[in-house]
Structure formats: structure tokens, C-alpha cells
Amino acid sequence: MRKLPRAFYDRDTIVVARDLLGKYLVHESRGVERIGRIVEVEAYLGPHDLAAHSARGLTERTQVMFGPPGHAYVYMIYGMYFCMNVVTEREGHASAVLLRALEPVANIGERTQGPGLLCRAMRIDKRLNGYDLTGKNFYIAAPNKSEPVVIVKRPRVGVDYAGHWARRHLRFYVKGNPFVSKR
DNA sequence: TGCACGATGAAC
DNA sequence: TTCATCGTGCAC
């Protein structure tokens, strides 16, 4: 596998989102290396995107989104789940890609369809917020062999409050993959 | 200092 | 459609 370099993340957020499909998310914790193939993502385009957390400006929670690309933005949602994003584009742009579903590859014993379940199965929690994904133990890599994927575009999930931004097709998933979340 | 609510998931 | 469960953001 080839670990993705910072330059991968320092590009247009929609391009990064689509390009993340088929890549491998890797997390080693307590001596266990868990690997999942990314099959569903959503793009959040920055402070002007009313569905993005960064739309409310720089806060303690969202500071990682405003930071340099290639870092993990992990936050708690509904008091019981975590969601993981990868920060994209230049520092200050405050855009990110939410990882919504994985296809299990190695050492995953729980369901991974949906952002909350994905984090639970991969043992991702808030301790990893701000983690540099170009480092060790927690990163994204391109597999040695990857099948070309057909990408489906849909509106994002759970952002109906965001006006016209809610209608944009910024959710991307691998067509026909059984691990894509049901919505 | 208080409180409404959410980029969810599961049960009913 | 309802509920579990709590950190965040903003009102007061």
C-alpha cells in the first residue's frame, strides 16, 4: 500500500472526496491493525457551505477544519457516536470530507455502514481529533491493486436545514457496494 | 450558567 | 416516528 501524502489532501474538496473512494483507511490501536475500504463519503466545502460545521466560524470544536490538510477532524455527535473527516485544501479554507462507510478488509468485527458505526468499528474517537494522517498508526493508503469504481452522486444526509446547500450532490459512494449506508 | 439541538443509529 | 445521550455554541 502507498500512504497518501499531504498533497493528496491539498486539492479541491470534491476531487479529494471522489478520489478517496476505494482507498484504505488504516488504524492500529492496542497492537491491532484495522483496515477498511472507503466506499461512501461526503464533501463539506468550507465556511460558505451552510451544512459544514465551519459555517459558524472558527470555534474550539472546528479549529482542526481550519487547519492544514491531511489531518483528522473527529467530533462527537448525538452524545454517543463519533464522526471522522479528513481536512482538505489549504490552511484556513476549513473544508473536509466525512467518511460515511467502509467495506471491511482486515480485523473489523462490527458493522461499518454509517459514520458513527464506522468510527466505533475502527476504534476512532476524539483522542484522534487533529491527528496527522501522514504519520504512523492512523492513515489512508492506496491499495496495490484497485478496481475502477463507478461513483454515484446524491445529496448529503441529515443536513436539510442547510437550504440550497442541502440539495447539492456532495455525497459520493461506490455504485452497488453493499456496505454503503442505508438512507 | 443554562439550554436547545445535532454531518446517528436502532427500536417501535 | 421516537428515543438514547452529551458536547458544543449561543443566548441570557
Q: How far apart are CA A83 and CA A99, in angstroms?
A: 8
Per-residue model confidence as pLDDT tens digits over A2-33: 999 999 999 999 999 999 999 999 999 999 99
| Amino acid found at A17 | A
The alpha carbons of chain A give a radius of gyration, in whole angstroms, of 15
Distance CA A136 to C1' B9 in A = 31
Q: Which residues in window 155-174 of A are less than 7 A from strand B by Cβ?
A: 156-159, 161
What are the structural domains, with CATH classification, of chain A? 2-174 (3.10.300.10)
Residues 66-105 of A with CB under 7 A from strand B: 73, 76-81, 83, 85, 96, 98
Q: pLDDT digits over A81-138, tens only?
A: 999 999 999 999 999 999 999 999 999 999 999 999 999 999 999 999 999 999 999 9
Rounded alpha-carbon distances, angstroms, from residue A22 to A5, A13, A131, A161? 16, 16, 22, 30
Mean pLDDT of chain A: 97
- What is the reported pLDDT for A182? 86
Q: How far is the CA of A48 from the C1' of B5 (A)?
A: 21
d(CA A80, CA A102): 20
